[in-house]
Structure 1
Amino acid sequence: MTLRVTDSDSTTGTVDADPFVLTDELREQFVAVVGRENALIDQAERDDYRDPYWFPPDRTYDSSLVLFPTSTEQVQAIVRLANANEVPVWASSQGRNNGYGGPSARVKGSILISFRKMNRVLEVNTELAYAVVEPGVRWFDLYDELHAQGDELLVSVPDIGWGSVIGNSLDNGITFMPAGSDFSAQCGMEVVLADGSLLRTGMGAQAGNESWHTYKRGLGPVLDPLFMQSNYGIVTRMGVWLMKRPEAYSPLYLSIPRDEQLDQAIDIVRELRLAGILRGVPNIQDMITAGDIHFPEHRGKFPSFVDPTWTDEQLDAVADETGIGRWGVRTALWSDAETIDIHERKIRQAWSAIEGGQVMRLATYTAENWHTLESAGYMDRLSGGVPSRDILDVLPDFVGHVGFSPVVPLRGAEVAGVMRQIRAEVIARTGVNYMCAIFATNDRSATIVTPVFYVRDDPNQTKAAMDTVKGLLVQLAQQGYCEYRAHLDFMDLAQDQLDFGDHAYRNFAEKIKDAVDPNGILSPGRHGIWPSSYRN
């Protein structure tokens, strides 16, 4: 195997490892574990299980087989067989990490393990407010279970509800309610290791321990973070902390009339977070991103995903006409009615420093009208724990995107400065409109999530988007910024930017990889961590 090469001959300019070739005999043995009905064998079948935003003719990351286990025991059997024959496997939950590579593996020819058929909600503990789920459980599935039980408990959801609760969490996916702040919802994992053995983290290390999903530490080293964005094991169940339904809930939209006011607005958001007034994860979106999704009454007034770049004058005119501003903050308040009123007054007082800025209280939900939330607007549902797929409904089928998302300290001038640098590069190199969402994932940092859009069957647009993101990755790394997750096609490039101590982080991570997975079968190359069998 080879890696960390700089030459490339694929359509997108990928850095690739040599492909793995699965023999017919081994394929039959793997299929026998799950049954033919739970396997995708032919290329036509497997083509339905890849990132739909990837350039269709490019076969760089094709799999050789897709398996859908239905139990942890089947996962263990697959891993044991793979380990015995040194077959690379790549696990995904729903496989819907589109824009970052979807379910595809870093090594071409790998076996993909999909958890779409391990989709049981194993437990809902109403008293202690947590659930235990398998990796195929979608946000829709967990919500449906909680809704059937009377909406006493709420789950913090991301923008799109079709993904996996576990898969999204393990990739540091962002959700918006208080449990989403600093990725704090996960607690206690069950993990299949490379030799097929089973590990339980935290207090789950003791058989029958009732604190497994209620206490985030344990006795000795805390292992849970080792299985996030890693290739050390396959998580087959996880605890998820839920939120008791508050007495009242009010979604808010805070408008920012002009682009040059973004710096000031970010600083105000930070201070409101540090003061405990704003909780959860406030999401600061540009007008184009917010427009069609959050304000359907103005649909059609905003540029589309791949329209030629609009001027500032054009964008300002639409911002004024619609009243939503060039930027807006999507946030919410969860508490009793009196506290919500107090916090809203404090937000309005702080926001009055932004000339022309508006604070819109969209609604207030209590036990009496909670049943109306399912049919409410997108912003109302999202921060109330009701998953949706509204974003997908406004994204044309012919459009794809690649994600670029650096983490920046939560200082207005710094966040806005990095965003403007990214925007200038995207516009100059692709010619499309820049779209962005800035997530205040905690009180002190923000993730600038930029989807770079393109017509996905156009090789020139696809290459321009990929080259733009790769260039930005290196450019911003030189200024001290790193992505919070990387697309499959440039995981190695992203990891290579972590250069402190002559790449001490990667060196340490690879030592762990070699110790826990000596044959290097579990997701080799994930986020740039390769086993010794693939290193030159």
Structure 2
Amino acid sequence: MYRPRFVHGVIKPASVKDVARVLEIFDDPGLECGLQAVSTGRNWGLGSREPARDHAVTLDLGGLDEVRALDLDKGWAIVEPGVTQGRLAALLSGTSRMLNVTASSAHTSVVGNGLDRGVGLRRQRVDDIVGLEVVLPGGETVHVGWWPEQDRATPVYAHGLGPSLLPLFLQSDLGVVTAAAVRLLPRPEAQRVLRLAFGRDDLAAAVDTMRRWTAQGLVGGVLKVYDLVSAEFYGGRVGEFLAHVCVDGTERSADAVAEVIAEEAVASGLFTEVALADTDAAPDDVVARMVRGAYAGDPGGNDAMLHATVGQPAEHVDDKGLGWLFFLPLVPFDGESVALAHHLLARIHDETGVRAGCTVNALSSDVIDFVVSVKFQRDTDGTERAHRALDRAYELFAEAGFIPYRLDVDHADWVDRLSPDPAARALARRLKGALDPNGAIAPGRYA
């Protein structure tokens, strides 16, 4: 339910050569429209397939859907934008490697989500990308970062020699990515997932306790905390905050660390429930089932949670069921900051009447991805209030120093407002002018 843009048409290339030909044609100063590349187009809550500006042509890369190469020994795969996380995860099932999957649908793109710095259950997805195949304006194809060589095997190392070009094409309008080299993670021998529930009054203290476990290396993967509203949104238990803490390693080490965390959680007196989600979760708890599977690289339960959230399967999220918005700020991982972020959500509710939910994803012991989600009815009043709440989230969180790491299409111009150094933005525009002087790619998107 973002403002619909005027899109002239859709081009669906079937090969990298097709993409290069399209880029060659659009590298023309006489054209008044640019290309908006999408992978599977399921950037839900942030604009889906919509470009940032009007008068664009959609370059739909969903037809580029090959897994070109897979090396389980070295731990990498070469995948095209149309490859979904469900498909790649299925290829890895039963092997020594697994994919860092997100909590989103199995039908979402591995490449598209990684390029926009999405967050998996093991780490931020951008850390999985070690190399890219990029078609530049004019049609030239280059490989940046690490890429497999035909005649010799080289260690997977993303940074290379000299200035690294790989980061230039993340959240970027400098080229069109047609394939990515993606890191595959070693599959743990054993995994345990603890469920910890706690009340609102204990939020700050519980967050500080979980940060300590994370800082001391006890937690494997991304610690997740669903708030009271999100638990209801996603079809889970209502009334308390619900944390999922993953522990993995060998059978003995996973059991030992899980036992230590459980004992410390009980001794703290902060948690109303301490249980193993692997064995004690209710069979109808879609959240627990999704989290448990996703930590293990299996997105098989993700679409059940998607359906519980918006009432529709992946193919109908954009045209049926409830409306859905996301706001994605980064917040310091400490109890005081997380409590302040929740206070801002309460203020938005007071001002707009919109109850936003949030999920904490701990990216490290210092920073969390504070996922704010808004569900709403697709009528005029519901849509207007939801987008007013989203506008206030940008304003209030930025004022508090909680800056988003991804932008939706209606707030694309906030990239200048949120960037700390105007000179750095000017440098980015100089690079854009050098590589894409005719503005052929993604006009207005992170530009």
Q: Which has the larger radius of gyration?
A: 1
1:47 equivalent in structure 2: none
1:174 equivalent in structure 2: 119
1:332 and 1:383 in contact (8 A); partners too: yes
| Amino acid aligned to 1:377 | R
Task: Confirm or deny that 1:117 pairs with 2:63.
Answer: yes
Q: Deviations over 1:115-151 (max 9, x none)?
A: 211111111111112211001100011012222xx33
2:261 equivalent in structure 1: 347
Distance verdict in 2 for CA 1:500–1:185, change over 3 Å: closer
1:285 and 1:328 in contact (8 A); partners too: yes
| Amino acid aligned to 1:279 | G
Secondary structure, aligned partner of 1:526: coil
| Amino acid aligned to 2:303 | R
Structure 2 residue corresponding to 1:184, chosen from 108, 127, 134: 127
Q: Distance in 2 between matches of 1:144 and 1:203?
A: 25
1:521 equivalent in structure 2: 440
Q: Distance in 1 between matches of 2:235 and 2:253?
A: 26
Structure 2 residue corresponding to 1:99, chosen from 45, 55, 58: 45
Q: Give the CA deviation at 1:159.
A: 1.0
Structure 2 residue corresponding to 1:386, chosen from 275, 298, 320: 298
Task: Confirm or deny that 1:496 pairs with 2:416.
Answer: yes
Structure 1 residue runs of 5 or longer lacking an equivalent are: 1-52, 303-318, 320-325, 365-375, 530-536
Q: Deviations over 1:284-339 (max 9, x none)?
A: 111332347464xx6xxx5xxxxxxxxxxxxxxxx3xxxxxx11112312211110
2:80 equivalent in structure 1: 134
Q: Distance in 2 between matches of 1:508 and 1:481?
A: 24
1:82 equivalent in structure 2: 26
Q: Distance in 2 between matches of 1:439 and 1:332?
A: 12
2:70 and 2:76 in contact (8 A); partners too: yes
Structure 2 residue corresponding to 1:332, chosen from 235, 246, 256: 246
TM-score (norm 1): 0.75
Q: Distance in 2 between matches of 1:238 and 1:523?
A: 19
Q: Give the CA deviation at 1:349.
A: 3.2
1:181 and 1:442 in contact (8 A); partners too: no
Structure 2 residue corresponding to 1:422, chosen from 337, 340, 345: 345
Q: Give the CA deviation at 1:208.
A: 5.3
Structure 2 residue corresponding to 1:401, chosen from 320, 324, 329: 324
The Cα RMSD (Å) is: 2.2
Q: Give the CA deviation at 1:477.
A: 1.9
2:184 equivalent in structure 1: 242
2:367 equivalent in structure 1: 445
Q: What are the equivalent positions in structure 2 for 1:22-61 lying under 5 Å apart? A: 53-54=1-2, 58-59=3-4, 61=5
TM-score (norm 2): 0.89
| Amino acid aligned to 1:351 | A
2:327 and 2:404 in contact (8 A); partners too: yes
Identity within the alignment, %? 27
Q: Distance in 1 between matches of 2:275 and 2:67?
A: 36
Instruction: State the number of aligned residues.
Output: 425
Q: Deviations over 1:176-224 (max 9, x none)?
A: 12xx257421111111111211111124498856337x11210111111
Q: Distance in 2 between matches of 1:455 and 1:209?
A: 56
Structure 1 residue corresponding to 2:405, chosen from 475, 484, 499: 484
1:331 and 1:383 in contact (8 A); partners too: no
Secondary structure, aligned partner of 1:363: helix
Task: Confirm or deny that 1:193 pairs with 2:136.
Answer: yes
Q: Give the CA deviation at 1:378.
A: 2.2
Q: Give the CA deviation at 1:362.
A: 2.2
Q: Deviations over 1:233-270 (max 9, x none)?
A: 111111111122222122221211x1121111211222
2:316 equivalent in structure 1: none
